[in-house]
Structure 1
Amino acid sequence: MRTVVLTMKASVIEMFLVLLVTGVHSNKETAKKIKRPKFTVPQINCDVKAGKIIDPEFIVKCPAGCQDPKYHVYGTDVYASYSSVCGAAVHSGVLDNSGGKILVRKVAGQSGYKGSYSNGVQSLSLPRWRESFIVLESKPKKGVTYPSALTYSSSKSPAAQADLWSTATYTSSQNRPRADPGEMDSWKPGSVLLDEGLVPKEELSTQSLEPVSLGDPNCKIDLSFLIDGSTSIGKRRFRIQKQLLADVAQALDIGPAGPLMGVVQYGDNPATHFNLKTHTNSRDLKTAIEKITQRGGLSNVGRAISFVTKNFFSKANGNRSGAPNVVVVMVDGWPTDKVEEASRLARESGINIFFITIEGAAENEKQYVVEPNFANKAVCRTNGFYSLHVQSWFGLHKTLQPLVKRVCDTDRLACSKTCLNSADIGFVIDGSSSVGTGNFRTVLQFVTNLTKEFEISDTDTRIGAVQYTYEQRLEFGFDKYSSKPDILNAIKRVGYWSGGTSTGAAINFALEQLFKKSKPNKRKLMILITDGRSYDDVRIPAMAAHLKGVITYAIGVAWAAQEELEVIATHPARDHSFFVDEFDNLHQYVPRIIQNICTEFNSQPRN
């Protein structure tokens, strides 16, 4: 009996242990499931703005195709929260246009956001915004829990909220618009609640429905689009042309501190639709482009280029002296008039001409082309930089990114450099005893009259001066003054020295003290004025100047030796040496010297 009882007790204990072990194992499995929940990455669309998402840090998945210009991005590296999250991710290089996962972290607002072109996305600049974000690779931090579902702000649109609240100023808690508790602390009377948060009413000019950019300062150009409105183009292709213009307006980030753009349509005769100051942001410009209607007529491109040269780039039309002038000419097929002469005058006026040619002449149509190879005869350089060609109108959109990149590359806009804004000019002035005080003042007036003809700045033409007798004196170098008034005052203050005439030593001194410090991309011009024969040899110093690329003009007065002037002057001497019998006649040569400087500049090869 006792044996049976013991056996039963053993069975009970065994069953208890089995149940205990099974329960522990089950609890461990349950614990495992609780500790390792599956994280689902939320998906968003390309147009979702960071400001719409309340979460301070989150991981999301972006779709493909967010490189499109319609998904606006504001800033570089740090983005205003009005930006497309996925567009910013592509711009920053964290994603490519095929999409993927990203980590987004909200940061404080900035006082300025810099626009830039990166990874196929043109971001826009912005004066300020109340909240920013950065984009990182989707590597979760240890111990940080990321939301599987995003928390979005109110679905009410900024436009509806602005309409509802911007007309009233709230002075008591009863009149306040409803907001999230966290936003109530920052609410002020006169504030408007947008999806970005509470914004002071006085800031609505830049932070209402959409930020208004000041423009991309890295692309400060004055741009004229010459569009083809000829009858042969047809309505459908004219619409495709307008779409490219709208896309360019969006990609350029139009604004007063960046690029400005106007449009001229040509047919029989050209006409301006709007000039540089008519629309100063991309949004208004795109709206205006939509309203353009086709004029019809022939394709008189040469007439249109002449019109733009004479009429478009004026101060009254919004032209800015510090911004390069650019013309983009769109041509369906070929022009019905000649463009070479009109384009030459445009280039000499400092206008950078780009051509976009579409389709072109078939073999049996080439007999009708008025001017074969017209694009190469028109553009600033024949190296391919200024010309874009597409075989079909349906491929026109492919020119968008290369065109925007090229027109903004201000260092390569060769036609911005004219004879009046691209030189370092060193005056070498004879201050010997034979000149006399009165005549020396006349020489300085001659120097002043020449200087007035040039565009003076640190990046345009720069002026320096040396006075010499037996000795030499640097009156001022190229980097001393950077404005025309300052230069003219400096010339006026030059004091008469008096002494002998060592012209050869003066040329050597000018090479060392002036032109050795000339900028590499500047033309170097020496204008030497003397009234007598030199006491030293001028041949070797003059040859040294010529070998160093210094274009030398020699102006002699009264007792100056003609043969010496011809030795000093750059070849051909007839264009670079001048003689007058009296100091009072110096002023007569100012127009001739300027003309020769410009003729020589414009005769340079265009390749």
Structure 2
Amino acid sequence: MGTVVLTMKASVIEMFLVLLVTGIHSNKEMTKKIKRLKFNVPQINCDVKAGKIINPEFIVKCPAGCQDPKYHVYGTDVYASYSSVCGAAVHSGVLDNSGGKILVRKVAGQSGYKGSYSNGVQSLSLPRWRESFIVSESKPQKGVTYPSALTYSSSKTPAAKADLWSTPTYTSSQNRPGANPGVQRQDSSGAAFQKPVGADVSLGFVPKEELSTQSLEPVSLGDPNCKVDLSFLIDGSSSIGKRRFRIQKQFLADIAQALDIGPAGPLMGVVQYGDNPATHFNLRTHTNSRDLKTAIEKITQRGGLANAGRAISFVTKNFFSKANGNRGGSPNVAVVLVDGWPTDKVEEASRLARESGINIFFITIEGAVENEKQYVLEPNFVNKAVCRTNGFYSFHVQSWFGLHKTLQPLVKRVCDTERLACSKTCLNSADIGFVIDGSSSVGTGNFRTVLQFVANLSKEFEISDTDTRVGAVQYTYEQRLEFGFDKYSSKADVLNAIKRVGYWSGGTSTGAAINYALEQLFQKSKPNKRKLMILITDGRSYDDVRIPALAAHLKGVITYAVGVAWAAQEELEVIATHPARDHSFFADDFDNLYQYVPRIIRNICTEFNSQPRN
């Protein structure tokens, strides 16, 4: 009996052990299955944008071929969510073009995204975007659960209402264990959409909270064919009235829309004037048409007089600065809107603005009638103010209700950078050739003084390959090109080149030097550049200067003759452009040359600014 009992106990224990082992094995298998399901990585196509995926952090698998430029990427290292997820991964170097798994983490939107070329992908710049993401290798972080199914926002616009409601919150074709597979279909990106549990497809209805906001298109970088820095001076005086002020604001908003504002195109700021001017926003404040229009709508009228002249002076001194977003290489344009006529003078303020390189446009609305003309301080104020009196820079509108008719003509003219003549000033629009006497009578010490004089003149100009360019010739009996107009493109390089010029010593053949400068320097001058020759000599020429000087004048080279010590006054006057009193100078000593720098610069600018504005 005891033996039977022991045998039964042994059997029971054996069965228990078998069940225990089987259970442990089953649990291990279940755990393996769960783990396999847990790390099941969703696969996406190359054109899926990060903004379409709602999950804040996820691991996905990218296919091969995402290096293609059609999969747009915006930014470097940190990418705007409008970018292709897989394209960004290739650009960042996390993946190559063969695809693979990546970890994606959403971060805050940036104020700007810088484009760059990396790993065969050209990313684009973007001024701002509401959401960003970064990509890294697919190493799961401890304690973080990654979705095996992604949640997508809607890909349909509100206009396609029925279709939008039938394709609400979506997950990829990889489903969690036990989930209802639901109804699936493919969107244009290749991701499988799944109807969530509880939604009634037959009724075409999805709870409102299931619908996600639609991704917006990226903000434009602006029209590169209209890269201008633009200031609008709007009339906020009491005489204009609230209704007409609203029309003026609407006109500005329409201009902002038509211009396609952006950092690669036009930038626009607004100054309102009454008794005194005030900047509402500068060139940096709003860098796209949408934001600019919103800001314009919020402008309130200041009231007071219509002191347009004071406003123009304010813009000249304050608006077009680097701190306010002025880009330097872009033409500066100021458009002045005037209700009737200004209550102060505009001529002097406008002259200073033009000499600063600002293109002044005037739009006058509802001008003075006969019995009001006595109140106009400058009867011909428009022609005294605008950049050129050829009709290009001025508009007159009979009624505020006709203001919109000037919109397209104004946009066309503002963007016509070839005709914005006042963008060029006396300091940034010339090819200047120095012709330097290196004869024996000068001497080494005085020659260094002459070079300092040349450097002091050069310092006054804005030097670059597109602004003023400088070249130099030294002469004795012979001539030598020290450097041409295309040799140096910065002020520092030009000044260093002047310092390096070596003293030659010899005779004085000034006529031959002028001919040489015409052939070796000014023959290579740009067609749209003013040509200035500044000749410095200390004595009478051994050859004739009359014919070479006449040749220079006929070729449009404005010649300044600077004589020192034993130079012949009558010869300087022959060399100099007419009138000689403005183009010829004489110093009795080399040490006094420096005194003539401001006078020569002033005469160069006076001549430039006195040219006919028709």
TM-score (norm 1): 0.69
Q: What do residues 382-413 of structure 1 show as CA deviations (whole Å, max 9, x unaligned)? A: 11100112211111111111111111111111
Between the aligned partners of 2:306 and 2:98, the Cα distance in structure 1 is 42
Tell me, yes or no, if the aligned pair for 1:162 and 1:192 is still in contact at 8 Å. Answer: no
Distance 1:557 1:312, change over 3 A: same
Q: Tell me: CA distance 1:230–1:88, structure 2 relative to 1, closer, same or farther (3 Å).
A: farther
The equivalent residue for 1:67 is 67
Using the alignment, how far apart are the partners of 2:175 and 2:24 within structure 1? 61
**Shift of residue 581, structure 1, vs aligned partner:** 2.1
CA distance in 2 between counterparts of 1:205 and 1:527 reads 70
In structure 1, what is the equivalent of residue 261 of structure 2? 254
Post-superposition CA distance 1:354-373 (Å, at most 9, x none)? 01111212223222222212
325-334 vs 314-323, which moves further: 314-323
SS at match of 1:400: helix
Distance 1:343-1:203 versus aligned 2 partners, 3 A rule: farther
* CA drift at 1:582: 2.0
Per-residue CA deviations over 1:330-387 (Å, capped at 9, x if unaligned) read 0111111111111111111111000111121222322222221211111011111001
How far apart are residue 26 of structure 1 and its match?
70
1:276 touches 1:317 (CA, 8 Å); kept in 2?
Answer: yes
Further displaced range: 14-23 or 54-63: 14-23
> How far off its partner does 1:161 sit?
15
Residues 227-267 of structure 1 deviation map (CA, whole Å, 9 limit, x = unaligned) = 01011111111111111111111221222222111110011
CA pair 343-129 structure 1, distance change in 2 beyond 3 A: closer
Would the aligned equivalents of 2:464 and 2:489 in 1 still touch at CA under 8 Å? yes
* Distance change >3 Å, CA 389–CA 206, structure 1 → 2: farther
Structure 1 residues 407 and 47: alpha-carbon distance in aligned structure 2, compared to 1, 3 A threshold: farther
- Residue in structure 1 matched with residue 362 of structure 2 by the alignment: 355
How much does 1:62 deviate?
Answer: 38
- 24-33 vs 512-521, greater mean Cα deviation: 24-33
Instruction: Report if aligned partners of 1:228, 1:331 keep a CA contact under 8 Å in 2.
Output: yes
Is the 1:299–1:337 contact (alpha carbons within 8 Å) kept by the matching residues of 2?
Answer: yes
Q: Distance in 2 between matches of 1:51 and 1:284?
A: 21
> Tell me, what secondary structure is at the counterpart of 2:37?
coil
Deviation of 1:309 after TM superposition, in Å, equals 1.1
CA distance in 2, matches of 1:295, 1:589: 48
Deviation of the 1:169 alpha carbon = 16
* CA deviation vs aligned residue, 1:177-212 (integer Å, no higher than 9, x gap): 999999339999999999999999999999952312
Q: 1:303-353 CA distances to partner (integer Å, 9 max, x unpaired)?
A: 111111111112222222211111000011111111111111111111100
The CA distance in 1 between the partners of 2:370 and 2:11, in whole Å, is 104
Q: Using the TM superposition, name which of 121-130 and 81-90 deviates more.
A: 81-90
Please say if residues 555 and 565 of structure 1, whose CA atoms lie closer than 8 Å, have aligned partners that are also in contact.
yes
C-alpha change, 1:198 and 1:40, in structure 2 (3 Å) is: same
Percent identity reads: 91
Q: Kindly tell me: are residues 65 and 290 of structure 1, through their superposed partners in 2, closer, same or farther at Cα, counting changes over 3 Å?
A: farther
- Count the aligned residue pairs: 607
SS of 1:73 mapped into structure 2:
coil
- Cα deviations by residue, 1:546-592 (Å, 9 ceiling, x for unpaired): 12221111111122122211111112222111111222221111111
Q: Is the 8 Å Cα contact of residues 186 and 198 (structure 1) preserved in structure 2?
A: no
Do 1:529 and 1:556's aligned partners in 2 also have CA atoms closer than 8 Å? yes
From the superposition, tell whether residues 57 and 20 of structure 1 become closer, same or farther in structure 2 (CA, over 3 Å).
Answer: closer
Cα distance change, pair 273–434 in 1 and its aligned pair in 2 (3 A): same
Change (3 A) 1:302 1:492: same
Question: Where do 5+ consecutive residues of structure 1 fail to align?
Answer: none
- Please state if 1:487 is matched with 2:494: yes
- Give yes or no for the alignment of 1:437 onto 2:444: yes
- What is the CA deviation profile of residues 504-550 of structure 1, one whole-angstrom value per residue up to 9, with x for unaligned ones? 00001111111122222211110001111111111111111112221
DSSP-derived class of the 1:133 partner: strand
Q: Could you tell me how far apart the structure 2 residues matched to 1:536 and 1:569 are?
A: 17
Change (3 A) 1:161 1:535: farther
Where in structure 1 do 4 or more consecutive aligned residues deviate above 6 Å? 1-153, 158-182, 185-207
Q: Is the 2:238–2:304 Cα contact (8 Å) retained in structure 1?
A: yes
Is the contact made by 2:306 and 2:342 (CA closer than 8 Å) also made in structure 1?
Answer: yes
Structure 1 residues 44 and 312, CA gap change in structure 2 (3 angstroms):
farther
Indicate the residue corresponding to 2:103 in structure 1: 103
> Hey, what's the Cα distance between the residues in 2 that align with 1:580 and 1:343?
36
Separation in 2 of the partners of 1:376 and 1:138? 68
On the 8 A contact 1:222/1:261 being kept in 2, the answer is: yes
Give, in angstroms, the shift of residue 503 of structure 1: 0.4
Distance change >3 Å, CA 151–CA 19, structure 1 → 2 = closer
Query: Whole-Å Cα distance in 1 between the matches of residues 82 and 272 of structure 2?
Result: 35
What SS does structure 1 have at the residue aligned with 2:254? helix
Q: Give the direction of change, closer, same or farther, for the CA distance of 1:57–1:341 in structure 2 (3 Å limit).
A: same
TM-score for the superposition, normalised by structure 2: 0.69
User: How many angstroms apart in 1 are the aligned matches of 2:572 and 2:8?
Assistant: 134
User: 1: distance between equivalents of 2:30 and 2:142?
Assistant: 23
Shift of 1:603: 0.9
User: Which stretch of structure 1 is more off in the superposition, 44-53 or 135-144?
Assistant: 135-144
Instruction: Provide the C-alpha distance between the structure 1 equivalents of 2:128 and 2:241, rounded to a whole number of angstroms.
Output: 44
Specify whether residues 503 and 412 from structure 1 end up closer, same or farther in structure 2 by C-alpha distance, changes over 3 A only: same
| Residues 261-320 of structure 1 deviation map (CA, whole Å, 9 limit, x = unaligned) | 111001111111111111122221111111100011111111111111111112222222
Distance 1:122 1:251 in 2: 29
| C-alpha distance 166-179 of structure 1, shift in aligned 2 (>3 A) | farther
Q: Is the 8 A contact 1:130 1:196 kept in 2?
A: no
In structure 2, C-alpha distance between the alignment counterparts of 1:513 and 1:276, rounded to whole Å: 42
Gaps of 5+ in 2: 183-189
- Does the 8 Å CA contact 2:166/2:204 hold for their aligned counterparts? no
* SS at 2:291 equivalent: helix
Q: Secondary structure at the match of 2:139?
A: coil
Decide whether aligned partners of structure 1 residues 107 and 229 sit closer, same or farther in structure 2, where only a CA change above 3 A counts: closer
RMSD: 16.5
The structural deviation recorded for 1:441 is 1.6
Q: Deviations over 1:54-95 (max 9, x none)?
A: 999999999999999999999999999999999999999999
Q: Is the 8 A contact 1:169 1:191 kept in 2?
A: no
Shift of 1:125: 10
Q: Which moved more, 1:437-446 or 1:497-506?
A: 437-446
Residues in 1 aligned to 2:350 and 2:154: alpha-carbon distance in whole angstroms: 56
Q: Which piece of structure 1 moves more, 71-80 or 357-366?
A: 71-80
Per-residue CA distance 1:441-461 (angstroms, 9 max, x = gap):
221111111111111122211
1:468 is aligned to: 475
Q: Is the 8 A contact 2:169 2:211 kept in 1?
A: no
CA contact (8 A) 1:191 1:201 kept: no
Q: What secondary structure, in the 3-state scheme, does the structure 1 residue paired with 2:152 have?
A: coil
Taking the aligned partners of 2:88 and 2:372, their CA distance within structure 1 comes to: 48
Distance 1:255 1:577 in 2: 48
Contact 1:162/1:193 (<8 A) preserved: no
